[in-house]
Chain A
Amino acid sequence: MLLEINNLHANVEGNEILKGINLKVNAGEVHAIMGPNGSGKSTLASVLAGKEEYEVTEGEVLYNGKNLLELSTEDRAREGVFLAFQYPVEIPGVSNTNLLKTAVNEIRKYRGEEELDSMDFLSLLKEKSKLVELDQKFLSRAVNEGFSGGEKKRNEIFQMAVLNPKLSILDETDSGLDIDALRIVANGVNKLKTKENATIVVTHYQRLLDYIIPDFVHVLYKGKIVKSGGKELALELEEKGYDWVKSDKAEAVV
């Protein structure tokens, strides 16, 4: 099992946002987490990535058999957890290349591997930028600075491709993308899929799931997973709307 979340509760500023999440993800699987705005999807992603302002009050998260919650944010990343942010931040003056070079080498150091030399690193960047059809000029531009919404999202997937994580969490990567960009991003994600890694796709539209076919769909509502099923659940949701889950919540499947 790659990821196992048991009865996870989390607070922010004293308010309980996650109210007992249970989720199991195996290597090779794609899970979709859907739910209306404010239901706690980004909170879950942030807690998994290790954002400090979220306080875990109950429950546990096992990742590759390790207690994930005990690891620092950077060590989680070095262990292979990647979060594609819903709102990627701008870092003025720091080029994408510089960020990725630092990241790749710190991850390699953690794993006891040698640093990549510049030539190998640049060819890695080139190869991966093709995967998401990212123009080379983005490599030397400052991270996300002046990028359009879609470019930022594409850049997240590019970073994911370079860092080659085991568990990727994509938080609303589809929002702000036009249909072409959506296809490119989904295509990239599909190409990166292996038997060893897993992806959690967070979205509130089913649109993305036409391109990234999930093995499981979970509906998050008011801090709990109220329904889980196969990919047909997404279509059902699309058809009936979130009101259906809201009224149906009593029969929650966990």
Chain B
Amino acid sequence: MSTTETQKIEELANKEYKFGFVTDIEADTIPKGLNEDVIRQLSAKKQEPEWMTGWRLKAYRHWLTMEEPKWPNVKYPPVNYQEISYYSAPKSTPKYKSLDEVDPELLDTYKKLGISLDEQKMLAGVAVDAVFDSVSVATTFKGKLNEMGIIFCSFSEAVREHPELVKKYLGSVVPYTDNYYATLNSAVFSDGSFVYIPKGVRCPMELSTYFRINAANTGQFERTLIIADDNAYVSYLEGCTAPMRDENQLHAAVVELVALENSQIKYSTVQNWYPGDKDGKGGIYNFVTKRGACRGTNSKISWTQVETGSAITWKYPSCILQGDNSIGEFYSVAVTNNMQQADTGTKMIHLGKNTRSTIVSKGISAGRSNNSYRGLVKIGKKAEGARNFSQCDSLLLGDKCGAHTFPYLEINNPTAQVEHEATTSKIGEDQIFYLNQRGISTEDAVSLIVNGYCKEVFKELPMEFAVEAQKLLSISLEGSVG
């Protein structure tokens, strides 16, 4: 790469994070630290029933026996769990009936992020459950969904209003003993979304949540549970941006999906958390456990993710294909720039007969970042006729970044068909010159090439999300190739 190109890379890498600002709202916070009392307090503040408190405590006691995993291909200073505050809610809660009642400063924050609720409300077909720190502050479109028997509410509300559903499914996909971060989440989860689609109902709109991390030193422990009953369908969108922070912030969410007979869940994420400055200072640690269980025959779960943010991402949305003929899909674009580190991928666990899975992973590394794909395809003894197709591509921008692929295969049934393809490529100067010669600036050229590279994933996203994803990608790669 020529010197002018290198200069341009550096110049543009220095652009500030567009969404870095802190909303000044008095927060109601439990003092820092973690012990059984803190968990009891937290549970009490949320007016939880005893069984919920008990479950949290069981998880906490188990967590004390666990060790933080060392195997992801990422490096970070140790997290001091006693320095985190486990509960923070904007003071002007609880629920608002209309937007007029919402703290204007909060609404202003959303406006800066380009997700004004006014607009969202009018955007036909999208119901918004906005999570601001730990508590849901606004839920729209509820009436319409109610009529169809669809439950779409904050997790806290579900614990109070639909305890039988929560009891039945919480921890049924990701048990509280699952892994270090999921166990921590089970003990201290703050809030999140709950969705239940009853038998035979096709959710008529994309359900969507925007997460934000705000109050300083507040760990975020979202808990999401989505259940599609027999013959149901739902498409759920998760979008994130976070304000600029000086200290690293831990984010350990758990998402559980349950798909019953003939049902389908589409879960799409566009994740744009603050990645830290160009030296890697600040930024979010994103250690997430996302897993879906295809319990019913012919059920289907698709994960689509576009990851451009976070200082460190550690995330493997997975599918457990229990039902015969069930289908798991994973479409991912993971972008790392500057000092970002991502270790992401998926697990497809084939248990039922004729189960199928597709993995399309597109990694893009720029700056001095590191991007790893880690994928497990496991075919159980009884999974007659199981099939998997995996395609893992890496695109390098510049020569200081890295891409690593770690595919793991465990095949216990001889009838399985597993196919794996992997490629690594660089954005060629020839491609950029070609586009420059057609009158296209280098920035637009990179954006065109990268969007072309990600096309297979973007086409899986709902329309309005795909447009946003393309914009995000361009923003996060601005200037990463001269």
Residues in A lying within 8 Å of B, measured CB to CB: 49-53, 72-74, 76-78, 82-83, 85, 88-89, 91-94, 98-100, 102-103, 106-107, 110, 142, 159, 163
Indicate if the CB atoms of B431 and A89 lie closer than 8 Å.
yes
How many Å lie between the Cα of A91 and that of B439 in the bound state? 16
Indicate if the CB atoms of B436 and A50 lie closer than 8 Å.
yes
Residues in B lying within 8 Å of A, measured CB to CB: 2, 4-5, 428, 430-431, 433-442, 444, 448-449, 451-456
How many Å lie between the Cα of A49 and that of B436 in the bound state? 9
Number of A-B contacts (CB under 8 A): 77
Partner of B434, one of A50, A91, A98: A91
How many Å lie between the Cα of A178 and that of B65 in the bound state? 74
How many Å lie between the Cα of A136 and that of B324 in the bound state? 43
Indicate if the CB atoms of A103 and B438 lie closer than 8 Å.
yes
Indicate if the CB atoms of B433 and A106 lie closer than 8 Å.
no
A163 to chain B: which residues have CB within 8 Å? 438-439
B452 to chain A: which residues have CB within 8 Å? 91-94, 98, 142
Indicate if the CB atoms of B436 and A72 lie closer than 8 Å.
yes
Indicate if the CB atoms of A106 and B449 lie closer than 8 Å.
no
A93 to chain B: which residues have CB within 8 Å? 451-456
Which 3 residue pairs across A and B have the least CB separation, nearest first? Answer: A93-B452, A94-B452, A73-B436
Partner of A74, one of B2, B436, B451: B436
Indicate if the CB atoms of B433 and A91 lie closer than 8 Å.
no
Partner of A77, one of B437, B442, B454: B437
| B interface, over-half SS | helix
B2 to chain A: which residues have CB within 8 Å? 52-53
A102 to chain B: which residues have CB within 8 Å? 440, 444, 448
Chain A CB count within 10 A is highest, among B436, B449, B451, for B436
Chain B CB count within 10 A is highest, among A52, A88, A103, for A52
B440 to chain A: which residues have CB within 8 Å? 74, 99, 102-103, 106
| Min CB–CB distance B2 → chain A (angstroms) | 5
A77 to chain B: which residues have CB within 8 Å? 436-439
User: In the complex, which residue of chain B has the Cβ closest to the Cβ of A78?
Assistant: B439
Partner of B433, one of A73, A82, A94, A107: A73
Q: Assuming the A-B contacts A52-B4, A91-B448, A93-B451, are A159 and B438 also in contact, with contact meaning beta carbons closer than 8 angstroms in the complex?
A: yes
User: In the complex, which residue of chain B has the Cβ closest to the Cβ of A83?
Assistant: B437
| Min CB–CB distance A76 → chain B (angstroms) | 8
| Min CB–CB distance B444 → chain A (angstroms) | 6
| Min CB–CB distance B299 → chain A (angstroms) | 31
How many Å lie between the Cα of A78 and that of B435 in the bound state? 12
How many Å lie between the Cα of A70 and that of B52 in the bound state? 70
A103 to chain B: which residues have CB within 8 Å? 435, 438-440
A88 to chain B: which residues have CB within 8 Å? 434
B444 to chain A: which residues have CB within 8 Å? 102, 106
Indicate if the CB atoms of B437 and A91 lie closer than 8 Å.
no
Indicate if the CB atoms of B430 and A89 lie closer than 8 Å.
yes
| Min CB–CB distance A182 → chain B (angstroms) | 23
B451 to chain A: which residues have CB within 8 Å? 93-94
Chain A CB count within 10 A is highest, among B431, B437, B449, for B437
How many Å lie between the Cα of A76 and that of B438 in the bound state? 9
Indicate if the CB atoms of A51 and B433 lie closer than 8 Å.
yes
How many Å lie between the Cα of A100 and that of B435 in the bound state? 10
New contact pairs (10) apart from A100-B438, A103-B439, CB-CB < 8 Å: A49-B437, A73-B436, A73-B437, A85-B434, A93-B455, A94-B449, A94-B452, A99-B435, A102-B440, A103-B435
How many Å lie between the Cα of A89 and that of B442 in the bound state? 16
User: In the complex, which residue of chain A has the Cβ closest to the Cβ of B448?
Assistant: A94
| Min CB–CB distance B479 → chain A (angstroms) | 15
Q: Assuming the A-B contacts A53-B2, A106-B444, A142-B452, are A91 and B431 also in contact, with contact meaning beta carbons closer than 8 angstroms in the complex?
A: yes
How many Å lie between the Cα of A99 and that of B5 in the bound state? 22
How many Å lie between the Cα of A78 and that of B434 in the bound state? 13
User: In the complex, which residue of chain A has the Cβ closest to the Cβ of B3?
Assistant: A52
User: In the complex, which residue of chain B has the Cβ closest to the Cβ of A51?
Assistant: B433
User: In the complex, which residue of chain A has the Cβ closest to the Cβ of B454?
Assistant: A93
| Min CB–CB distance B423 → chain A (angstroms) | 10
Indicate if the CB atoms of B439 and A110 lie closer than 8 Å.
yes
How many Å lie between the Cα of A92 and that of B440 in the bound state? 17
How many Å lie between the Cα of A72 and that of B4 in the bound state? 12
How many Å lie between the Cα of A102 and that of B433 in the bound state? 15
Indicate if the CB atoms of A107 and B436 lie closer than 8 Å.
no
| Min CB–CB distance A147 → chain B (angstroms) | 14
Provide a sorted-by-A list of 26 A–B residue pairs whose CB atoms are within 8 angstroms. Answer: A49-B437, A51-B433, A52-B5, A73-B437, A74-B437, A76-B437, A77-B436, A77-B438, A78-B439, A89-B428, A89-B431, A91-B448, A93-B452, A93-B455, A98-B448, A98-B452, A99-B440, A99-B448, A100-B438, A102-B440, A102-B444, A102-B448, A106-B439, A106-B444, A110-B439, A159-B438
Partner of B441, one of A74, A83, A98, A142: A74
| Min CB–CB distance B466 → chain A (angstroms) | 14
How many Å lie between the Cα of A240 and that of B435 in the bound state? 40
B431 to chain A: which residues have CB within 8 Å? 89, 91
Chain A CB count within 10 A is highest, among B4, B449, B452, for B452
How many Å lie between the Cα of A41 and that of B278 in the bound state? 43
| Min CB–CB distance A92 → chain B (angstroms) | 6
